[in-house]
Amino acid sequence: MRKGDFLFTSEAMTEGHPDKVCDQISDAILDELIKQDPNSRVACETMVGMGFALVTGEITTKGYADVQKIVRSVIKDIGYDKPDYGFDSETLGVLVSIHEQSPDIAMGVDEGKKQAIGAGDQGMMSGFACTETKEFMPMPIMLAQRLAKQLSEVRRRKIIPYLRPDGKTQVTIEYKDGKPKRIEAVVVAIQHDPVSLPKLRKEVTKKVVLPVCKKWMDKNTKVYINHTGRFVIGGPVADAGVTGRKIICDTYGGVGNHGGGAFSGKDPTKVDRTGAYMARYIAKNIVAAGLADKCEIQLAYVIGGPKPLSIMIDTFGTEKVQKKVLYKLVEKHFHLDAGGMIKQLNLRRPIFRKTAAFGHFGRELPDFTWEKTDKAAVLRKEAGL
């Protein structure tokens, strides 16, 4: 991890960003199928552009999802509900091309007569936690996500009624001796109705930026709001969207490593998703237990194999106990086989659409089981602290 004095930046998106629209559609379809059949196998991809949404992928299920209806419902709920936007839930065309999961993949994942579920793919997944915030997340991504959420709140509640759904945020933190000191810069790009730019900048500063960031700002903090001066044309009209294209803002904002696999539209047998959730769960509990100030977990799997090929724990020199103690505690208290992770995190539930905007981590919602610190006390006790 970085040490000394430096600047670090993370970005986030509102739920109306084209890529986030796609993530939410894919996860809404997943939720509908898991609600009907918890053992549904889903790998659902979405693309949106000017006037259309395309849903494709592989699905094997006993349930049924009215894809057209779900797509239109999600887009309307996000806020694309006016023809003036050039992309709205009533007039867009919805194309669907879905087929069953490959039997070559299924035979490696199905339980059958075996005692364990095999991983749905090969790959590596990373989870991270640190003491920078109360959520045990890096500060730049937490502030960027909070700004994105605040933009959504003031739009939906009509506090700033002329805002539109598409938007991005960015926060640069100045670190001193490896610890966050202040905000160097805040960037907000938010779609809007035709309106005076000075008015927009004033209201967004007052009602979005300051409520989220004021504690860490000073007279030298730079604030950029719609820096090009206009953002009326936005959403899928201005930029096509695709599921799984915002994996860094979905996770830790560029801090730590990433296995490269996206989450949205994938059922829990896909270790890209479940392994990353478990890695976060482990790292967060280690840090919450006081066993380290920073922790990164990497897991790796082979398709069809129930157990991880490797487990890596990196505490960046901040560990309070020997590394071999951490490995023993992780292997004792966390289920790392594919089926065990699903069970321990209770993932066969329709909880996934809410993960698809404002980050998968650092949001301590009841359904986000990977954010619990329920293992921290026992880890600390057994570590002898």
Overall domain count for the chain: 3
Are 370 and 252 part of one and the same domain?
A: yes
pLDDT in tens, 188-219: 999 999 999 999 999 999 999 999 999 999 99
Q: Which of 246, 294, 353, 375 is catalytic?
A: 246
Q: Is 360 annotated as catalytic? A: no
In-domain check, residue 112:
no
Are 276 and 127 part of one and the same domain?
A: yes
Q: Is 132 annotated as catalytic? A: no
| Domain that residue 68 falls in | 18-106
In-domain check, residue 179:
yes
Q: How far apart are CA 283 and CA 128, in angstroms?
A: 6
Are 291 and 204 part of one and the same domain?
A: no
pLDDT (mean) for 72-90 = 94
Confidence at residue 55, expressed as pLDDT on a 0 to 100 scale:
98
Instruction: Give phi and psi for 22, each to the nearest 5.
Output: -65, -40
Tokens of residue 30, six digits: 């997943």
Q: Is 320 annotated as catalytic? A: no
Beta-carbon contacts of residue 268 (< 8 Å; ≥ 6 apart): 274, 341, 342, 347, 348
In-domain check, residue 297:
yes
Q: How far apart are CA 353 and CA 259, in angstroms?
A: 22
pLDDT in tens, 6-31: 999 999 999 999 999 999 999 999 99
Confidence at residue 101, expressed as pLDDT on a 0 to 100 scale:
65
Q: Which of 11, 15, 19, 296 is catalytic?
A: 19
Are 211 and 143 part of one and the same domain?
A: yes
Distance of CA 53 to the CA centre of its chain: 22
CATH number of the domain within which 167 lies: 3.30.300.10
In-domain check, residue 53:
yes
pLDDT in tens, 280-308: 999 999 999 999 999 999 999 998 888 89
Q: Which of 72, 168, 294, 375 is catalytic?
A: 168
Confidence at residue 112, expressed as pLDDT on a 0 to 100 scale:
46
In-domain check, residue 115:
no
Are 251 and 224 part of one and the same domain?
A: no
Reported as a pLDDT band with limits 50, 70 and 90, residue 122 is confident
How large a percentage of the chain has pLDDT more than 90?
A: 89
Are 304 and 371 part of one and the same domain?
A: yes
Confidence at residue 16, expressed as pLDDT on a 0 to 100 scale:
97
Reported as a pLDDT band with limits 50, 70 and 90, residue 269 is very high
Confidence at residue 304, expressed as pLDDT on a 0 to 100 scale:
86
pLDDT (mean) for 65-73 = 97
Tokens of residue 49, six digits: 């552009």
pLDDT in tens, 95-115: 999 988 655 555 556 554 445
pLDDT in tens, 321-372: 999 999 999 999 999 999 999 999 999 999 999 999 999 999 999 999 999 9
Reported as a pLDDT band with limits 50, 70 and 90, residue 84 is confident
In-domain check, residue 113:
no
Please give the residue that has the higher pLDDT: either 214 or 117: 214
Q: Which of 8, 11, 12, 17 is catalytic?
A: 17
In-domain check, residue 143:
yes
Cβ neighbours around 103 below 10 Å, total: 10
Beta-carbon contacts of residue 93 (< 8 Å; ≥ 6 apart): 51, 52, 53
pLDDT (mean) for 208-232 = 96
Average pLDDT, the chain: 94
Confidence at residue 321, expressed as pLDDT on a 0 to 100 scale:
96
Give all strands of the β-sheet with 310-314 in edge-to-edge order. 123-130, 294-301, 310-314
Q: Which of 155, 164, 270, 284 is catalytic?
A: 270
Are 208 and 87 part of one and the same domain?
A: no
Q: Is 184 annotated as catalytic? A: no
pLDDT (mean) for 266-275 = 95
How large a percentage of the chain has pLDDT more than 70?
A: 96
Beta-carbon contacts of residue 65 (< 8 Å; ≥ 6 apart): 29, 32, 33, 59
In-domain check, residue 118:
no
Q: pTM, whole model, 2 decimals?
A: 0.94
Q: Is 121 annotated as catalytic? A: no
Are 161 and 254 part of one and the same domain?
A: no
Inter-axis angle of helices 67-78 and 18-36, nearest 10: 130
Name which of 26, 3, 9 is nearest 245 in CA terms: 26
Q: Is 367 annotated as catalytic? A: no
Are 213 and 263 part of one and the same domain?
A: no
pLDDT at 272 over 50: yes
